[in-house]
């Protein structure tokens, strides 16, 4: 059985690519068009705006998001030269340091996390990070005039919320907010909200639930890695 899930992060892809690519572990069963479009715009921006070089730890949440946006634009503008594998190599390290991958993976899995082994948790976290990185490498391959910008920052119950907008090539603004939490010596993204409402983590949790119900933790791990392999061309054929 093949599985799939959309995400707010997968939605941001529409900003970068101009259409919803449907990066999912299985074919969608028919979510509403509006939600699908929203989610597509979100995937692209949340998880792949990574700078080319290592920088000092961001002092604010806004610094983290701005760094992601700067790197996303860099990757898009050089996408054809870098190629698929080059974009993945470029983006994955910064995605992992800019996002709280472990927290997002845990919350996305939900109650099943408590019954999973430590080895399974590590595999889920690793697969989650690979999958997200692979989506961005696959979708952010060219630049068409998009303009992401940080517009403000405000306190939130769990940290700070960084407000931003993406001006698409046609001039249409898309609101993208980032929930930031302090992690060690830097601020990391723990969730993304499209238009102030659609949560990346909540969306993934809903999508993961179907996979967990039918195939369990090991099935989810396999699905994440299978899709990442397909997107990074490390397997011979898609599923």
Say how many CA atoms lie within 13 Å of 219 toward its Cβ.
16
Q: What is the residue range of 78's domain? A: 8-231
Look at residue 68 and tell me if it is in a domain: yes
Percentage of residues of the chain with pLDDT beyond 90: 48
Structure tokens at 233: 């061309």
Query: Which range, of 52-66, 125-139, 148-162, 169-183, averages the lowest pLDDT?
Result: 52-66
The pLDDT score that the predictor gives to residue 17 is 42
Look at residue 67 and tell me if it is in a domain: yes
Residue-wise pLDDT for 110-164, tens only, equals 999 999 999 999 999 999 999 988 887 888 788 889 899 999 999 998 899 999 9
The pLDDT score that the predictor gives to residue 106 is 98
More confident position, 219 or 18: 219
Spatial separation of the C-alpha atoms in residues 10 and 23, rounded to whole Å: 7
Look at residue 237 and tell me if it is in a domain: no
Look at residue 1 and tell me if it is in a domain: no
The pLDDT score that the predictor gives to residue 85 is 86
What are 217-223's contacts with CB under 8 Å, separation 24+?
Answer: 217/109, 217/112, 217/115, 217/116, 217/120, 217/124, 218/120, 219/3, 220/109, 220/124, 220/127, 221/120, 221/123, 221/124, 221/127, 223/2, 223/3, 223/25, 223/26
Q: How confident is the model at residue 216 (pLDDT cuts 50, 70, 90)?
A: very high
Can you give 165-193 as a three-state secondary structure string? EEECCCCCEEEEEEEEEEECCEEEEEEEE
Look at residue 239 and tell me if it is in a domain: no
- Average model confidence (pLDDT) across the chain: 79
Look at residue 185 and tell me if it is in a domain: yes
The pLDDT score that the predictor gives to residue 103 is 96
Handedness of CA 160, 194, 17, 101 (dihedral sign): positive
Look at residue 78 and tell me if it is in a domain: yes
- CATH of residue 207's domain is 3.10.450.710
Residue whose pair of structure tokens reads 């503008």 in the numeric block:
77
The pLDDT score that the predictor gives to residue 140 is 78
Q: Which residues pair with 166 in a beta bridge?
A: 148, 174
Q: Could you tell me if 25 and 2 are in contact, meaning their C-beta atoms sit under 8 angstroms apart?
A: yes
Number of domains in the chain: 1
* Best mean pLDDT range from 14-28, 30-44, 170-184: 170-184
């Amino acid at each position: 059985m093949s599985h799939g899930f959309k995400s707010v992060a997968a939605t941001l892809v529409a900003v970068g690519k101009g259409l919803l690519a449907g990066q999912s572990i299985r074919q969608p069963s028919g979510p509403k068009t509006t939600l699908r479009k929203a989610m597509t715009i979100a995937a692209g921006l949340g998880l792949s705006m990574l700078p080319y070089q290592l920088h000092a730890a961001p002092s604010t949440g806004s610094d983290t998001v701005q760094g992601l946006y700067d790197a996303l634009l860099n990757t898009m503008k050089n996408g054809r030269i870098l190629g698929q594998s080059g974009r993945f190599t470029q983006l994955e390290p910064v995605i992992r340091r800019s996002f709280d991958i472990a927290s997002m993976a845990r919350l996305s899995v939900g109650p099943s996390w408590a019954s999973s082994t430590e080895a399974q948790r590590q595999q889920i976290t690793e697969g989650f990070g690979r999958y997200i990185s692979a989506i961005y490498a696959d979708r952010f391959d060219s630049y068409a005039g998009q303009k992401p910008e940080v517009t403000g920052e405000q306190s939130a119950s769990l940290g700070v919320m960084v407000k931003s907008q993406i001006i698409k090539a046609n001039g249409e603004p898309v609101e993208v907010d980032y929930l930031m939490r302090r992690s060690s010596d830097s601020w990391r993204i723990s969730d993304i909200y499209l238009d102030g409402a659609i949560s990346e983590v909540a969306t993934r949790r809903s999508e993961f639930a179907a996979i967990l119900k039918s195939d369990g933790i090991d099935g989810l791990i396999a699905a994440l890695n299978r899709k990442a392999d397909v997107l990074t061309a490390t397997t011979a054929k898609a599923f």
